[in-house]
């Protein structure tokens, strides 16, 4: 039996192999770059790969993951939310102002008795959920483009937060003196010591991520938002209540921002009206890097988590090796542009 292969067969196999390599590189290019960066950081500073650093990165990522869960759901529907960061700031200020210990000399509400921990957290979540609902109404029923609607809400929310924050008699002073039961949510942990432990804030983020995964993958609502993002007109013809689902997506996102803002105040031990500034851009970037399509209809919860972790590790790692902050911004910007460019290429290839 002849072992000589047909030249056409050899060429076909080579082309198939080249296509497979190209498809793999296209699909996982961002992750390959990320791995290369981690290797480079570790070579420069081997101490980077430690349990303590991993714990710090996870703690730093926790609130960003919760924000990304809200922003990611909106992106899947083909929308966007520029008000996320300001809603986080509002939640941080509201929850912190209601959870200061009674002996603190600059307490915002001096005569108010201690409230149960859950009540201010619930108030912050509801406040942001209402803002999210307002976004949904403006987008679904007034047909204002998501970019413009949420841009307006971003500006308005910052104004509301600043009015609330700049209250007599102390004016626009950072809110401090937070109760221990709140700060424990941000700094406490389950485990034997600070290194071999899991922070509470990370556990909360993982529970929220698991809930959103179930919502996206095991419910009719989840199927609907992917259908809306894929083709809203076709979804409407198929009987999907597009407007109601959009209201739900933006309201859920607002509630998640409210929880994230409270946890951010707990993690840092204080709050100002500038908290959350730019967080929406970080969340959008993380979602896109994690595989959420800017065209809508595509995205996974694990991908969103990976996207957040990529940016957190890059930020922490580059700071760890004392890289100039301006260069860090350049690298982040390049990764965002590359991720969007790859997403567009994949979208065009499917067409």
pLDDT 10s digits, 133-187: 999 999 999 999 999 999 999 999 999 999 999 877 777 789 999 999 999 999 8
Residue 322 lies in a domain: yes
Q: Is residue 22 in a domain?
A: no
Is residue 5 domain-resident? Answer: no
Q: Is residue 11 part of a domain?
A: no
Range of the domain at 175: 47-330
Region 239-245: mean pLDDT is 95
Whether the predicted pLDDT of 88 surpasses 80: yes
**Is residue 308 included in any domain, yes or no?**
yes
In tens, the pLDDT along 292-319 reads 988 889 899 998 998 899 888 888 888 8
pLDDT band at 194 (very low <50, low <70, confident <90, very high): low
27 located within any domain: no
Alpha-helical segments (H) within the chain: 7-44, 51-76, 84-98, 118-140, 146-165, 180-187, 200-217, 220-230, 232-237, 242-268, 279-289, 301-320, 325-350
Q: Number of folded domains in the chain?
A: 1
Residue 252 in domain? yes
For the stretch 337-350, pLDDT in tens is: 877 777 666 655 55
348 occurs within a structural domain: no
CATH label of the domain that carries residue 165: 1.10.3470
Yes or no: say if 76 and 296 are a contact pair by the CB < 8 Å rule. Answer: yes
For the chain, how many residues are written? 351
């Amino acid at each position: 039996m002849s072992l000589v292969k047909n030249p056409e067969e050899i060429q076909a196999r080579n082309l198939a192999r080249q296509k497979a390599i190209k498809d793999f590189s296209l699909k996982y290019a961002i992750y390959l770059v990320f791995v290369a960066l981690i290797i480079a950081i570790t070579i420069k500073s081997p101490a980077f790969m430690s349990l303590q650093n991993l714990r710090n990165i996870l703690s730093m990522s926790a609130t960003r993951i919760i924000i990304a869960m809200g922003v990611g759901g909106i992106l899947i529907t083909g929308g966007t939310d520029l008000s996320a960061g300001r809603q986080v700031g509002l939640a941080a200020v509201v929850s912190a102002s209601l959870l200061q210990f009674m002996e603190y000399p600059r307490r915002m509400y001096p005569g108010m008795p201690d409230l149960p921990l859950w009540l201010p957290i619930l108030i912050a979540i509801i406040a942001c959920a209402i803002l999210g609902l307002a976004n949904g109404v403006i987008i679904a029923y007034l047909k204002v483009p998501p970019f413009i609607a949420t841009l307006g809400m971003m500006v308005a929310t910052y104004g509301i937060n600043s009015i609330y924050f700049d209250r007599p008699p102390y004016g626009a002073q950072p809110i401090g003196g937070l109760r221990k039961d709140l700060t424990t949510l941000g700094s406490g942990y389950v485990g034997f010591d600070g290194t071999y432990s899991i922070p509470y804030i990370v556990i909360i983020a993982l529970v929220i991520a698991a809930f959103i995964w179930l919502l996206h993958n095991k419910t009719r609502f989840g199927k609907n938002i992917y259908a809306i993002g894929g083709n809203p007109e076709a979804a409407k013809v198929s009987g999907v209540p597009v407007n109601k689902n959009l209201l739900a997506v933006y309201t859920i996102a607002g509630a998640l921002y409210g929880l994230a803002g409270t946890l951010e105040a707990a993690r840092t031990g204080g709050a100002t009206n500038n908290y959350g500034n730019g967080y929406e851009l970080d969340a959008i970037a993380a979602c896109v890097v994690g595989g959420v399509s800017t065209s809508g209809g595509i995205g996974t919860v694990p991908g969103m988590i990976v996207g957040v972790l990529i940016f957190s590790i890059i930020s922490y790692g580059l700071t760890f090796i004392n890289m100039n902050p301006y260069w860090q911004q350049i690298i982040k910007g390049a990764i965002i542009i590359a991720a969007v460019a790859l997403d567009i290429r994949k979208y065009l290839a499917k067409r």
